[in-house]
């Protein structure tokens, strides 16, 4: 499954926010706090400058029915 990643630099809660979209609908955000990150997963702040304004990622698996692990394309 491929999702679209869109930077939200005007996000009032997090200037590093990256929204995740599936079929044109926002489904969430790339994790960006120590509380929501697991193991070696990179945060939104870490990948923000590595991706274009609109990029894609492939969902690899879902961990504990809560964490979605995806690979940047």
Q: Where are the domains of the chain?
A: 2-72
Percentage of the chain modeled with pLDDT above 70: 92
Q: Whole-model pTM? A: 0.82
pLDDT for 27 equals 92
**DSSP of 8-73:** -TT-SS-TT-EEEEETTEEEEE---STTT--TTPPPHHHHTTTS-SEEEEEEEEEETTTEEEEEE-
Provide mean pLDDT across the span 38-62: 84
């Amino acid at each position: 499954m491929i999702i679209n990643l869109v930077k939200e630099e005007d996000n009032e809660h997090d200037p590093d926010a990256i929204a995740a979209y599936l079929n044109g609908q926002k489904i969430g955000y790339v994790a960006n706090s120590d509380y929501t990150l697991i193991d070696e997963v990179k945060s939104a702040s870490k990948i923000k400058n590595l991706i274009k304004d609109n990029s894609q990622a492939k969902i690899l698996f879902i961990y504990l029915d809560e964490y979605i692990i995806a690979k940047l394309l």
